[in-house]
Amino acid sequence: MALYPLPIAKYTVAALGVLFFLVLPLSLHEYYLSIANLVWISIIGALGLNILVGYTGQVSIGHGAFMSVGAYTAANFATRLDFPWPVNLLLGGLMAAAIGAIVGIPSLRIKGLYLAIATLAGQLIIEWTINHVTFISGGVQASIEVPRPQLGTVVLNTHREMYFFLLFFVVVAIVGTMNLMRSRVGRAFVAIRDQDIAAEIIGINIFRYKLLAFAISSFYAGVTGVLYTYYFGIANYEQFQIGVSIDYLAMIIIGGLGSVLGSIFGAAFVTLLPIGIRYGMEAVSGVLFSEATVHNLIPALRLTLFGALIIVFLVLEPEGLNRLWRNIRSYFRVWPFAY
């Protein structure tokens, strides 16, 4: 396997690189970059969750809590010990990995729905702990302000600067995930997902690899949390509650389980969908309804459509956007022939 199996792939990667590293950040308005930044951060979180859910076949409804673990770890090191951001990022990820492995312990005995609910419990217990232990949360307000990240002497505070900062980690996360899945560890994950008993018989240490999957997945979540913290300038656990865990699950299901591209599509889709729906509604609904109705209609329709799309994907395209994308690609590859 090489990075470029076909010459066209080489050009595609190069073109994407130019597009995302040069054309978009230098041409778009800051507003669009701020949206891109939200997408970048969620891609990292979605990749992490997909490693656990899509590749290893475990379930987690506690991804948001692992983000808050990363966020508070980094924020505490940043404010108490004045550590620079790269150290905090790493420490936040590692702490989340450790907590994630602990929350993953029940996975050794239970799976499926029971595991889902156990991780839900993990989410609630982590939230409770942060809320009540002021040593972690920095006070009853449970929010810790952090300074903007610095590169040398440049303080990164505009969305354009943050764009490059975050995109760098997205690339690292994507390459890291792809490599992980090509390694012994990644193959062990897939083996556990496909048939855990068989995996054990061929000599995979289920105990170790399941916890490793939780740890790696939570590491990504922790990093996501740290990046949110630096992006917002504050760590606050109310930004990482149960709804966030569910949003990330929606991302990987809509995008496609067990696929890197799917995680990217899903993260982008879930982040952009509400924004897109709002723009669409703003353009057309003013003609049909009164202003007061529109104000109620837009959010209601957005939430309803979001729910409906999850269901539609589950029913019609279980493999998500990734599969849809492959279908489209193969459709055009052989066009105008049917197959």
What residues from 257 to 276 belong to the interface with another protein (CB under 8 A)? 271-276
Binding status of residue 322 toward another protein by CB under 8 A: no
26 binds another protein (CB under 8 A): no
Cα 222–Cα 224–Cα 225 angle in degrees, nearest 5: 65
Q: Which of 246, 285, 289, 319 contacts another protein by CB under 8 A?
A: 246
Q: Which of residues 208-227 bind another protein (CB under 8 A)?
A: none
If one asks whether residue 190 binds another protein (CB under 8 A), the answer comes out as: no
Please, which residues have CB within 8 angstroms of residue 227's CB and are 6 or more apart in sequence? 41, 44, 89, 166, 169
Figure out which of the listed residues 234, 261, 285, 326 binds another protein, where binding follows CB under 8 A: 234
Q: Is residue 336 reached through a cis peptide bond, with omega within 30 degrees of 0 on the bond before it?
A: yes
Closest distance to another protein from the beta carbon of 166 (Å): 13
CB of 4 to another protein, least distance (A): 28
Backbone torsions φ then ψ of 40, nearest 5 degrees: -60, -50
Residue 117 is a binding residue for another protein (CB under 8 A): yes
Assess 331 for contact with another protein (CB under 8 A): yes
Distance between CA atoms of residues 325 and 321, nearest Å = 6
Class of residue 105 by CB neighbours under 10 A (exposed 0-12, middle 13-18, buried 19+): middle
Cα–Cα distances (Å) from 310 to 40, 48, 242, 250, 321, in that order, read 21, 20, 17, 7, 11
Q: What distances in angstroms separate CA 124 from CA 52, 159, 311, one per listed residue? A: 19, 32, 26
Return the residue of 47, 59, 211, 223 that touches another protein, per CB under 8 A. Answer: 59
Smallest distance, Å, CB 53 to another protein? 7
Cβ proximity to another protein, 1 vs 315, nearer residue:
315
Q: What are the tokens at 13?
A: 């990667």
For residue 317, state whether it binds another protein (rule: CB under 8 A).
yes
- Least distance in Å: CB of 2 to another protein? 30
17 binds another protein (CB under 8 A): no
If one asks whether residue 236 binds another protein (CB under 8 A), the answer comes out as: yes
